[in-house]
């Protein structure tokens, strides 16, 4: 069963509108703290000029982040985020 974030579903539209403007001249995005990967899937589909690179700490990564995406979405395989710093 894939994980689903209700908050992600509610806020992906407003975030996408900002990203359309802010990333208009970009080709790659590193998303830090990708969680379920829902934003990566949604934004990669809506912004085809971008290669979307999700990342998450291994212990927080959901299987849905690694699930295949249908179609020709330009999304890289999730990478592990750096280890937390301790002070």
Comparing CA positions, the residue from 25, 77, 85, 28 lying closest to residue 56 is: 77
pTM above 0.85, yes or no: no
pLDDT at 15 over 60: yes
pLDDT at 16 over 50: yes
| CA–CA distances in Å: residue 74 to residues 6, 7, 84 | 24, 24, 28
Q: What is the pLDDT of residues 21-67, one digit of tens each?
A: 999 999 988 888 888 888 888 998 899 888 888 887 777 665 555 55
């Amino acid at each position: 069963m894939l994980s689903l974030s209700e908050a992600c579903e509610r806020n992906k539209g407003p975030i996408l509108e900002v990203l359309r403007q802010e990333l208009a001249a970009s080709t790659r995005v590193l998303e830090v703290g990708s969680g379920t990967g829902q934003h990566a899937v949604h934004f990669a589909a809506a912004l085809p000029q971008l290669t979307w690179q999700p990342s998450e700490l291994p212990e927080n990564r959901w299987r849905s982040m690694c699930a295949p995406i249908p179609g020709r979405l330009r999304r890289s395989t999730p990478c592990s985020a750096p280890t937390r710093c301790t002070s």
